Structure 1
Amino acid sequence: MERKFFPLFVDLNDKRCLVIGAGNIAYRKIKTLLKYGAKVEVITKEVAEDKILDLQNLKIFKKDFSEEDLEDVFLVVAATSNSDFNKKIFETCNKKNILVNNMTSKIDMNARFSAVYEGESVQVAVSSKGYPKKSLEIRDSIKKMLEKK
């Protein structure tokens, strides 16, 4: 089933966001969430990307994920390498009306991250329906166009 995503800018300041997994992709998502003021918590059995340990304002819980972890959560990033587990996370979150971004599926999610350009007076977000390299290329083209003077 194809999902249609409504483009929306959201204030993440002080919103509790949960990242499940701690690899390279999780690291990039955590950095983005922190940049926008989210209260980020990570649940993982082990930290696969050491750079995560260097991030500030981050809580890491080395444990198995459980449904109780979702209480008062605004957004979840399912960033494990197990696509079946990520799908289960999505299904659980979706039933609870929690936004969830699934790193192993273009379908089993209800929220996407976008490639963002921020200038002095403009913020542009690009989504290419789950193809991040394409989003980055378009964002970079927009950046070049807007920064020409």
Structure 2
Amino acid sequence: MSSFYPIFLDIKGKKCLVVGGGSVAERKVKSLLKFAAKVTVVAPQVSPEIENLAVNQNLTIVKARFEPSHMENAVLAIGSANSKEVNQTVYNEAEKLKIPVNIVDQPELCTFMVPSLVRRGDLSIAISTSGKSPAVAKTVRKLLEAEFGNEWGEYLEIMGEARKIAFKTEPEQKKREEMFNEIVKANLLEMIREGNSDGARRKAMEIIKP
């Protein structure tokens, strides 16, 4: 059984280090940028796509061989270099500094795993096989993508709005829970799927503010 504890990290505006400049590094960089991280890529050479990302994104490119100083102030590190020696050095340095580290395709050199992810607005569903089979994680992700459409993002926005209002207007926790349960049973998802997002929002507000 996996010893990895599932957790979501807030990396907005924080330095995340990616060592390597190839196609794997590209994917890692794009994923980190989606979560508003300040990404630093360290590699003697980087792909044209990474170069392009640096034009308008919160991305710094350091064209050099990895050195321990590159890890300064990083909150996590990902190693995707072509050199096993470099990746091992990244891991060793991260461990020394107690920085979470992931060396791609080497589970034994990982203190965190990057899950396969389904995102629908603020709804995030993470899938991990603890490094045993990325192919299985990808298969599960595709199944979930088919099950959870974009309407879930809108649905969650409405639920979040209703929750804020309920906490301002209803002091009793039990009554708030009853309100939320009633909203969940109100078939808002189906209304959103049918293109009636405004109607779904009105229905939720009617329950919160009777």
* Both structures adopt the same fold (TM-score exceeding 0.5): yes
Q: Is the 8 A contact 2:2 2:130 kept in 1?
A: no
The higher-RCO structure (CA 8 Å, 6+ apart) is: 1
Q: Against the structure 1 CA distance between its residues 138 and 13, is the aligned structure 2 distance closer, same or farther, given a 3 Å change threshold?
A: same
- Note if 1:135 corresponds to 2:116: no
Share of identical aligned residues, percent? 29
Shift in CA distance, 140/61, structure 1 to aligned 2, threshold 3 Å: same
* Cα distance in 2, alignment partners of residues 15 and 138 from structure 1: 30
Structure with greater strand share of residues:
1
Q: Distance between the aligned counterparts of 1:140 and 1:8, measured in 2?
A: 21
Q: Tell me, which stretches of 5 or more residues in structure 1 are unaligned?
A: none
**C-alpha separation between the residues in 2 aligned to 1:120 and 1:41?**
26
Provide the C-alpha distance between the structure 1 equivalents of 2:84 and 2:140, rounded to a whole number of angstroms. Answer: 28
For 1:45, give the aligned amino acid: P
Structure 1 residues 136 and 84 mapped into 2: Cα distance closer, same or farther (>3 Å)?
same
Within-5 A mapping of 1:113-132: 113-120=114-121, 122-130=123-131, 131-132=133-134
How far the C-alpha of 1:133 sits from its partner, in A, is: 2.2
Deviations 1:117-145 (A, max 9, x none): 11246310001122322211111111222
Partner of 2:6: 7
Q: Which deviates further from its counterpart, 71-80 or 122-131?
A: 122-131
Let me know the Cα RMSD of the aligned residues.
1.8
- SS of the counterpart of 2:25? helix
**Equivalenced residues, count:** 147
Q: Normalising by structure 1, what TM-score?
A: 0.90
Give me the TM-score of the superposition, normalised by structure 2: 0.65
Larger Cα-atom Rg:
2
Shift, 1:4, TM fit? 1.8
* Amino acid in the other structure paired with 1:53: E
